[in-house]
Structure 1
């Protein structure tokens, strides 16, 4: 088995349709006093997961400077030492770590972080470089400078494509409304047209709202602008694979889930009720549920690539091989019926996390 490939617009190159999302393997970490990491990550097991992903045909690897405050990038750099650089598509991000600078997007800080990222990875260029945050300071005072640096890096050939994150829920038409969604979408559209990204990332899974035929979702919007899409959280940070018989986990103060409402016991109980019919219909094993989650995402956006998190070789093998048995149309119809949300815009109130 080898992971299939797709053509990623914006980057204008082929990538593996399933990519390795490397946030998890950074391990525990905090930034500016906030937890941003993951508990119980063993470095050698994480590296074995990276190696297994490569063996199975993954070419797309996504990391960031704050994932473990460099640990994720350095692990990926180990993989790169044994892999031909041209065979990999490497993505990293900047925008959350300020160091001693006045702001993460101060031009000098972006350049420092970029140099550190290249050093961690052991490469002299990135395929994708993302503006990780949409906080550009008061009155967007650092926006113009950040855009200038990113475009300069691209013109120099140090990066091939610029990326930004999209809102977790998006319909272009919402910008014309008069509620909180209008402000969010109007702001993002402003940033999109200022930055001119080549690729966007978006959270999308079976829990995401569905849009009407009159609404332009992020995938349609991106196609119209010849922008590529990377789907993150197709597995809802592992929640879609969770065994409901297990007690709610307890997280350390350095694990981001300790502050994430969706990992609280009451939210987990609600999710288990939502997923009960899905588990009854398709099974409860991680492999069965990964097949549903990943297949559903790609059925909606077959020209996107899906980033999958992991902590060891067994986890990445389970998720990467889930497409060996593609979803049938009747299965897709069943999933759609079970999660037909009709624009449950309450989902847009979720905390913006990776």
Structure 2
């Protein structure tokens, strides 16, 4: 069996990263406190990830209203000679501006991000929202500001959020989501697309292609978040937390599935256990490798609340890669899960996953 390749991946624009990185979103969740004990716990987790090889560190100005950036900045100061790919995002904090993307507000937010992270240059800066005001009033200004930051050497690459559609969306809504992404993609011309993706993410076709083949054709890298569906695909009960809305008002996190949808997931996981066994960590390993092996120009970021979670996730890369047959089998099971979840979203009885 072929060992999983942990060689650094090229996302474009000179960005090279270990296949598995860390997302700091959990640091800013409303159910996490800001005590020194909790800060120390998160810092220990980040240190562990760095020791295990992670160099892609992903955050946003909206995670804990800057707290995640500040904590990551503390970590970066501990490793002044390490080659990190630091990624942050903008687009949700408005402050006193009329809109998160209004006029020079991006520039002000970027300066604060630099101060929080204690860096002169970011590897990746991502437009984290598709809302550019009425009639996309602030779209041109947002693009100009990011291009200027790149030209000045303040950032290496420009990112944008990828497409997402909630379960139960109509065909028209799916087309509208794809069309909106394609419209913005052609104008922003991102170097990297940041997207939530896992085996049960609703599929959106882009010019008849998957996100992976589409971005490869345009030379854009991909960063995938939520590969375990917040623990669901690892067989764990996800934390119930208010989820950020997607472009059509649906949850982007997958944390608030209905009971019938959760039944559909569990039925699919039973099929996976029947085929691959039920050893500890098997489900997490399969879910992670499934995302990582979708394309060579993508990297995956995992969230964490404990150091142990990060250790378990990085341990998943120590074994063999999934074979072509195993990837195809998981494709079939995940497809059936998505079909059953769609049925459940419309109030129909989900079918048992069959392979």
- Shorter-chain TM-score tier: 0.7 to 0.9
Paired with 2:288 and 2:158, the residues of 1 have a C-alpha distance of: 25
Q: Residue in 1 aligned with 2:334?
A: 339
Paired with 1:2 and 1:190, the residues of 2 have a C-alpha distance of: 36
Deviation track 1:205-251 (CA, whole Å, cap 9, x = no partner) reads 12135689x931111111111111111111112221233xx6x8665
1:256 maps to 2:243:
yes
What is the correspondence of 1:1-354 to structure 2 with a 5 Å cutoff? Answer: 4-28=6-30, 38-39=31-32, 42-84=38-80, 87-168=83-164, 179-208=172-201, 215-243=208-236, 255-256=242-243, 260=251, 262-264=255-257, 266=259, 267-284=261-278, 287-329=281-323, 330-341=325-336
Runs of 4+ off more than 6 Å: none
**C-alpha distance 52-269 of structure 1, shift in aligned 2 (>3 A):** same
SS in 2 for 1:339: helix
RMSD: 3.2
**C-alpha distance 78-286 of structure 1, shift in aligned 2 (>3 A):** farther
**C-alpha distance 45-179 of structure 1, shift in aligned 2 (>3 A):** same
Paired with 2:192 and 2:271, the residues of 1 have a C-alpha distance of: 35
After TM superposition, give the deviation of residue 256 of structure 1 in Å. 3.4
After TM superposition, give the deviation of residue 2 of structure 1 in Å. 12
Contact 1:163 1:198 in 2 (8 A): yes
TM-score normalised by structure 1 residue count: 0.82
**C-alpha distance 285-5 of structure 1, shift in aligned 2 (>3 A):** same
After TM superposition, give the deviation of residue 86 of structure 1 in Å. 5.4
Contact 1:241 1:290 in 2 (8 A): yes
Q: Residue in 1 aligned with 2:349?
A: none
Paired with 2:334 and 2:214, the residues of 1 have a C-alpha distance of: 23
Point out where structure 1 has 5 or more consecutive residues left out of the alignment: 29-37, 170-176
Paired with 1:97 and 1:327, the residues of 2 have a C-alpha distance of: 40
Paired with 1:2 and 1:268, the residues of 2 have a C-alpha distance of: 30
For these two proteins, the number of residue pairs brought into alignment is 327
SS in 2 for 1:136: coil
Paired with 1:268 and 1:257, the residues of 2 have a C-alpha distance of: 20
Paired with 1:208 and 1:19, the residues of 2 have a C-alpha distance of: 20
Contact 1:241 1:286 in 2 (8 A): no
**C-alpha distance 119-222 of structure 1, shift in aligned 2 (>3 A):** same
Deviation track 1:188-207 (CA, whole Å, cap 9, x = no partner) reads 11111111111101222121
**C-alpha distance 279-257 of structure 1, shift in aligned 2 (>3 A):** farther
SS in 2 for 1:64: coil
Point out where structure 2 has 5 or more consecutive residues left out of the alignment: 346-355
TM-score normalised by structure 2 residue count: 0.82
After TM superposition, give the deviation of residue 44 of structure 1 in Å. 1.3
After TM superposition, give the deviation of residue 308 of structure 1 in Å. 0.8
**C-alpha distance 343-2 of structure 1, shift in aligned 2 (>3 A):** closer
Deviation track 1:106-152 (CA, whole Å, cap 9, x = no partner) reads 13211111111111101111010000000000000000011111101
**C-alpha distance 59-182 of structure 1, shift in aligned 2 (>3 A):** same
